A = this chain, B = another copy of it.
Amino acid sequence: MKLNDVSLSAECYKVRLMLSLLGLDYEPAPVDVMAGEHKSEEFLALNPFGQLPVLVDGDATLWGSHAVLVFLALKYSDGNWMPADPIGAGEVMQWLSVAANDMQHSLNEAWLVAAFNIGTDLEGAQARAEAVLDIMEQHLQTRDWLALGQVGRLTVADVACYPYIAVAPDGKIDLTPYTAIQAWMKRVEALPGFVPMLPN
């Protein structure tokens, strides 16, 4: 199994975290984005959209972090990570959408501006981030994990959202008021196989 990725990317980190939580060995294949390697003919043959991450597992080539998370969960776990029942799958999909839309265009954008000077609208991104964090904080006040019923159960939804929350401080977003989110982060970080975005 080979993972085409880049180290400083919430999208790619989601997949590295999932692989590690599942205890799977893989060959890292770093892509030199600064040199435009993700737009090379060779890379576009893997993913025509020229985006990372891309996982190659035998005959299967999967691109897009959520596609890879769902693929890994269904192939290498007992179904706990990606439920098959309509309501459970629907709940997980809701939080995958929150990650892909609401969190990417707020927490991730704030991080890119503050840490890498990519983009300009830090205040707008921070304001959108606060709106998402407020909803997530209230949601997590009564449950341990994002999806699945009244108490929640660990799923790919938590893996998809964690990286955006983890980069919040580097986007100059203060997580101190969000005690339920902080408790959830500690639960994620205590999981066997947890790895941070960058090696310590």
Inside 8 A of A100's CB, which chain B residues have their CB?
97, 100-101
Inside 8 A of A74's CB, which chain B residues have their CB?
84-86, 89-90
Interface-located stretch among A62-70, A119-127, A190-198: A62-70
Q: Mark A118-149, 1 if CB is under 8 A from B, else 0.
A: 00000000000000000100110000000000
Inside 8 A of A62's CB, which chain B residues have their CB?
87, 90-91, 94
Q: How far is the CA of A67 from the CA of B93 in the complex (A)?
A: 5
Q: Are B94 and A63 in contact (CB under 8 A)?
A: yes
Q: Are A97 and B67 in contact (CB under 8 A)?
A: yes
Determine the interface band of chain A, counting residues with CB < 8 A from chain B.
Answer: 20 to 34
Q: Which of A75-97 contact B (CB under 8 A)?
A: 75, 82, 84-87, 89-91, 93-94, 96-97
A49-B98, A67-B94, A68-B90 known, 4 other contacts, Cβ within 8 Å: A48-B139, A60-B90, A64-B97, A70-B90
